[in-house]
């Protein structure tokens, strides 16, 4: 009978596409003015609290209401998880990613953890590559929306499992 | 449509985006619709930031238990498929597409293999169907049936795709396959659903009412939902209301059923009742659209805020890469953005892929509003051929014919 119900669930699915947007995160990068010995990029990374709750279990009391207190308690875990899935390199040499503060950002579809960070690449590279793997292992339909601001203007990239490495030109 | 023309009215930039799936993401961001408010630190630990699935919810607990079992036995394709199906069901219930992604990840180790089990192919096809990738879904279901010709679930999924895409002759032969291999109840469900599309809603209702025993228990909400739909098609609105309410009593909070009832209320001029019905479901975009429509119908002070949030959510979809959300998009453009030309273009684009009665209806409504009745000719023809009965669609067809040159 379970199979019967499962079979019928196929009938139900037709009409529910896009009942809710799939998972997005927003990585906004701003190039600092060029230095002779290093390249510095400041970033804000907005990650949906709903998505973080799925992988980390943030709602401690299980009441379905994620409070600031619960998020605050898990900030270290959020940072660990997020930064495990972000790498940067400048002209092939790894850059350092320096986590800074965390806050909250509200978007049309809910509240996001806003992670502030700085990417520092030694040797003044001309090209920085961002390697982004957040959530792909648990949700291949996740997308990262990367916005890069530099003196050249603003460039936007859509990050997916098939397009997880994004090159930013600094010159 | 010229994008610069859109700048004169606040909602047009969004509609211009919908008309141009290839429009650069940068311009969406520039339009500011995808932007966040500035980041802030909440004042109090008690402040609720986000609703999430509650661990105390039995459906959430079931999914969590399956997740734990698969974690301890990660090589089990049976457990993986079961968890993927549980994610799909839960996502459907709460109206959240994230779970389709989770399901995809769970079965990914098997779907990429040439010897993927047929049941897993059917699950993967369900996910593709969910994303409106109908051709790919059909191809996977064909593969599953080639491997296991008696797989009733694959035939049922193909029948569903036929119904969604308006190929009723093919659906009928698939339903026979379903009866042959899947038993009487599945056959009744398939044949009963089909008749709601082909001018035989009274028969469809009779067939669905015959699903008994365990089938009636597990599928009560779904059957009641179909009975409501059938009753609406026959213009029996009191019956429809009874079935909508029964469906929701059996499955409280089910997004699909809530939205169907909200549409019924909006059609009956009862927008005021939609607000409390969907107040706790703002996370679901389909529910949010009905809330925005109700706010607009009631001319509330919040109406414009709802319209903007809805526009921003659509913009976020566009930003993540050209996925289709045709029916809802067209309805938004017509009723909320008040842009009949853009709504008609979206409705016709949707009609290429999806041909349920609601899809026919939005084409007819948009064509009338845009004063282009001839644009709906294919839909008028389709309604005549399928013998679809529906008092609202019948009236629209008459209006389109009456105004056609």
In whole angstroms, how far apart are CA B99 and each of A85, B53, B106, B305?
Answer: 21, 12, 10, 28
Nearest-Cα residue of chain A relative to residue B161: A14
Q: How far is CA A100 from CA A115, B36, B401, in A?
A: 7, 19, 64
Chain A residue at shortest CA distance from B133: A17
* pLDDT surpassing 50 at residue A16: no
Looking at CA atoms only, how far is residue B308 from chain A in angstroms?
Answer: 9
| Contact criterion met (CB below 8 Å) for B126 and B92 | no
Per-domain boundaries in chain A: 19-169
What CA dihedral angle connects B93, B98, B100 and B102, to 10 degrees?
-120
A15/B328 CB distance under 8 A: no
Taking CA B29 as the corner, what is the angle to CA B28 and CA B35, rounded to the nearest 5 degrees?
A: 125
* A37 min Cα distance to partner chain B (Å): 31
Under DSSP, is residue B33 helix (H, G, I), strand (E, B) or coil? coil
Cα of B133 vs its chain's centroid, Å: 13
Domains of chain B in start order, with CATH, are: 58-149 (1.25.40), 258-317 (no CATH), 324-405 (1.25.40)
Nearest Cα of chain A lies from the Cα of B405 at a distance, in angstroms, of 34
With beta carbons under 8 A apart, name residues in chain B contacting A145.
Answer: 25, 34, 319-320
Does B132 contact A58 at a Cβ distance shorter than 8 Å?
A: no
pLDDT of residue B324: 56
From A48, which residue of chain B is nearest by alpha-carbon distance? B50
CA dist B262 and B276 (Å) reads 10
- Asked if residues A67 and A74 have their Cβ atoms less than 8 Å apart, the reply is no
Residues of chain B below pLDDT 70:
1-37, 215, 321-324, 404-405
- Average pLDDT of span A163-168: 96
Yes or no, beta carbons of A69 and B45 under 8 Å apart: yes
* Confidence label for A35 from pLDDT (cuts 50, 70 and 90): confident
Single pTM value for the model: 0.85
Q: What per-residue confidence (pLDDT) applies to B34?
A: 55
- As a whole number of angstroms, the distance between CA A19 and CA B89 comes to 13
Share of chain B above pLDDT 70, in %: 89
- Predicted pLDDT at B208: 93
d(CA B373, nearest CA chain A) in Å: 27
Q: What is the ipTM of this complex?
A: 0.89
Q: Do B51 and A24 touch (CB under 8 A)?
A: no
Q: What is the DSSP string of B69-121?
A: HHHHSTT-HHHHHHHHHHHHHHHHHHT-THHHHHHHHHHHHHHTSTT--HHHH
User: Half-sphere exposure of residue A24, counting CA atoms within 13 Å on the CB side?
Assistant: 25
Q: Is the CB of A107 inside 8 Å of chain B's CB atoms? A: yes
Residues in chain B with CB shorter than 8 Å from the CB of A10 are 122, 126, 129, 153, 156-157, 160
Q: Which residues of B touch A109 (CB under 8 A)?
A: 283, 285, 313, 316
User: Looking at residue B37, what is its pLDDT?
Assistant: 67
d(CA B94, CA B269): 26
Who among A12, A109, A114 is closest to B316 (CB)? A109
Tell me B299's DSSP state.
Answer: T
Kindly list the residues from chain B whose CB atom is less than 8 angstroms away from the CB atom of residue A117: none
Does the beta-carbon distance from A3 to B108 stay under 8 Å?
Answer: no
Chain B within 8 Å of A3 (Cβ-Cβ)? yes
Name the 3-class secondary structure at A31. Answer: strand
The 10s digit of each residue's pLDDT in A61-97 is 999 999 999 999 999 999 999 999 999 999 989 999 9
pLDDT computed for residue B323 by the predictor: 55
CB atoms within 10 A of CB B54: 16
User: For residue A32, what pLDDT is reported?
Assistant: 87
CB proximity A162 to B under 8 Å:
no
Whether the Cβ atoms of residue B332 and residue B303 lie closer than 8 Å to each other: no
| Residue whose C-alpha is closest to residue B90's, from A13, A62, A55 | A13
Chosen from A1, A5, A7 to mutate, greatest number of chain B CBs within 10 A: A7
The pLDDT of residue B24 is: 33
Taking an 8 Å cut-off on Cβ atoms, the answer to whether B97 and A105 are in contact is no
Asked whether the beta carbons of residue A22 and residue B164 sit closer than 8 angstroms, the reply is: no
Q: What are B124-152's pLDDT values in tens digits?
A: 999 998 888 899 999 999 999 999 999 99
pLDDT digits (tens, 9 = 90+) for B62-87: 999 999 999 999 999 999 999 999 99
Interface test with B, best of A1, A2, A14, A29 (most B CBs within 10 A): A14
């Amino acid at each position: 009978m379970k199979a019967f119900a499962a079979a019928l669930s196929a009938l139900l699915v037709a009409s529910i596409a896009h009942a809710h947007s799939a998972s997005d995160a927003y990585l906004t990068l701003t190039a600092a003015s060029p230095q002779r010995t290093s390249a510095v990029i400041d970033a804000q990374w907005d990650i949906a609290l709903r998505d973080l709750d799925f992988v980390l279990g943030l709602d401690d009391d299980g009441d379905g209401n994620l409070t600031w207190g619960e998020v605050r308690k898990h900030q270290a875990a959020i940072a660990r998880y997020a930064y495990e899935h972000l790498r940067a390199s400048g002209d092939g040499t790894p850059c350092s990613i320096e986590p800074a503060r965390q806050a909250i950002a509200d978007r049309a579809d809910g509240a996001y953890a806003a992670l502030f960070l700085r990417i520092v690449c030694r040797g003044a590279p001309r090209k920085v590559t961002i390697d982004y793997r957040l959530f792909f292992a648990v949700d291949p339909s996740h997308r990262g929306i990367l916005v890069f601001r530099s003196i050249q203007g603003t460039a936007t990239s859509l990050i997916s499992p098939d397009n997880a490495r994004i090159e930013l030109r600094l010159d | 449509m010229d994008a610069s023309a859109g700048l004169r009215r606040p909602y047009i930039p969004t509609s211009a985006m919908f008309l141009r799936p290839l429009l650069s993401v940068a311009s969406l961001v520039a339009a500011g619709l995808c932007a966040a408010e500035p980041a802030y630190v909440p004042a109090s630990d008690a402040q609720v930031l986000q609703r999430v699935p509650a661990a105390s919810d039995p459906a959430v607990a079931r999914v969590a238990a399956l997740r734990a079992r698969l974690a301890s036995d990660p090589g089990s394709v049976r457990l993986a498929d079961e968890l993927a199906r549980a994610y799909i069901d839960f996502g459907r219930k709460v109206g959240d597409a994230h779970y389709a992604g989770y399901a995809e990840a769970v079965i990914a180790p098997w779907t990429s293999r040439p010897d993927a089990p047929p049941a897993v192919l059917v699950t993967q096809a369900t996910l593709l169907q969910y994303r409106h990738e109908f051709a790919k879904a059909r191809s996977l279901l064909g593969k599953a049936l080639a491997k296991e010709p008696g797989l009733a679930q694959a035939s049922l999924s193909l029948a569903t795709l036929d119904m969604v895409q308006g190929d009723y002759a093919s659906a009928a032969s698939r339903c026979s396959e379903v009866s042959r291999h899947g038993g009487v109840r599945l056959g009744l469900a398939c044949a009963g659903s089909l008749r709601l599309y082909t001018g035989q809603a009274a028969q469809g209702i009779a067939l669905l009412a015959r699903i008994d025993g365990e089938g009636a228990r597990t599928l009560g909400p779904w059957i009641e939902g179909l009975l409501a739909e059938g009753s609406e098609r026959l213009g029996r609105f009191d019956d429809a209301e009874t079935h909508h309410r029964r469906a929701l009593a059996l499955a409280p909070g089910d997004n699909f059923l809530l939205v169907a009832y909200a549409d019924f209320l909006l059609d009956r001029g009862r927008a005021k009742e939609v607000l409390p019905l969907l107040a706790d479901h703002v996370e679901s975009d389909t529910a949010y659209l009905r809330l925005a429509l109700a706010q607009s119908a009631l001319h509330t002070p919040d109406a414009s805020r709802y319209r903007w949030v809805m526009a921003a959510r659509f913009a976020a979809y566009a930003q993540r890469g050209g996925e289709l959300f045709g029916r809802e998009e067209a309805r938004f453009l017509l009723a909320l953005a008040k842009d009949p030309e853009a709504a008609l273009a979206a409705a016709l684009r949707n009609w290429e892929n999806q041909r349920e009665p609601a899809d026919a209806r939005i084409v007819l409504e948009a064509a009338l509003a845009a004063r282009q009745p001839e644009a709906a000719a294919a839909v008028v023809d389709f309604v005549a051929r399928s013998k679809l009965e529906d008092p609202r669609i019948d009236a629209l067809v008459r209006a389109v014919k009456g105004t056609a040159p």
